[in-house]
Amino acid sequence: MASNPVVKHRTRAAARQNGRCHYCSCPMWDAMREPVKSFALRHGISRRLARLLQLTAEHLRARQDGGKDRAGNIVAACRVCNLRRHQGTRQPPEPDAYAALIQRRVAAGRWHYPPLHRLIAAP
Ligand SMILES: [Zn+2]
């Protein structure tokens, strides 16, 4: 097990979430455990698209707002969901509001590139 607490919590969160993103439910790959090439092959997508689904540690309360590197504050999210939450605005949306927004976008087919849509629904 890695000694970095963020990595440890990220790995545990990913296991709890069955390897799927907290926000969009896409499967993710852990760069410490699997090369992007094998994830891409397994899901029949390009490496470029697969990189978007890299496992990241998402701080529900952002570190810049005093969020800690603790299990209760870290979920596993894909790179896209993580980056976009913290992009563009000074204050990231609250996790529940952001989750609801992404679920609406997913339902409308407006989250992730189209080749990734089938991964969201796949068991
Ligand atoms: Zn996601």
- The pair phi, psi for residue 114, each rounded to 5°, is -50, -40
In tens, the pLDDT along 99-119 reads 999 999 999 999 999 999 999
Report d(CA 69, CA 81) in Å as an integer: 19
The candidate with the shortest Cα–Cα distance to 104, out of 23, 20, 49, is 23
> What structural domains and CATH numbers belong to the chain?
5-111 (1.10.30)
Task: Give me the sign of the Cα torsion angle 112, 116, 121, 123.
Answer: negative
Report pTM: 0.93
Question: Ligand 1 mean position to 51 CA, how many Å?
Answer: 12
In tens, the pLDDT along 53-71 reads 999 999 999 888 899 999 9
Report d(CA 114, CA 70) in Å as an integer: 34
Question: Ligand 1 mean position to 24 CA, how many Å?
Answer: 4
Question: Ligand 1 mean position to 99 CA, how many Å?
Answer: 9
Residue 3 has pLDDT above 80, yes or no: no
Q: Report the mean per-residue pLDDT for the chain.
A: 93
Question: Ligand 1 mean position to 26 CA, how many Å?
Answer: 6
